[in-house]
Structure 1
Amino acid sequence: MIKVKHLIIGVVLSLLLSGCSSKEGVKENTEISAESEIQALETLLKEKKYEDLLVKMETLHLPESETDKVKATVGTKFVDQLLKEKNIEFLGSKYNRMRLIVSRDNWSKMEKFVEQGEKIILDEMEQAVRSNDFQRVKEIYENGKSLKEDDEISAMYNYALYLQTDRNSYKASGALALAVDPNYHGRMRDEIVAGVTNTSYKNPKTFGPITMDDWNYIENEYRQNLANMERIAIGEKERKERIESARGKNPTLGMTYDEVKVSLWGEPVDVNRTVTQYGTHEQWVYGNGQYLYFDDGILTSFQD
Structure 2
Amino acid sequence: MVNAIKKLLVGIVLLIGIVGVIGISGCGEKEVVLKDRIEISTEFRNELNTLLENKDYDALAIATVRDMNNNTELNAMYYFAQTMDAFYNDGNMMNYYFEQIPLEYKEHYGKLLKEEQKEYIASLQEELDAEKTKYKDKPPVIGETKEQLKTSSWGLPYDINKTTTGDNVSEQWVYDDGKYVYLDDGIVTAIQE
Identify whether the pair has TM-score above 0.5, normalized to the shorter chain. no
Q: Which has the higher helix share?
A: 1
Question: Highest relative contact order (Cα 8 Å, sep 6+), 1 or 2?
Answer: 2
TM-score interval (norm. to shorter)? 0.3 to 0.5
TM-score between both structures, scaled by the size of structure 2: 0.43
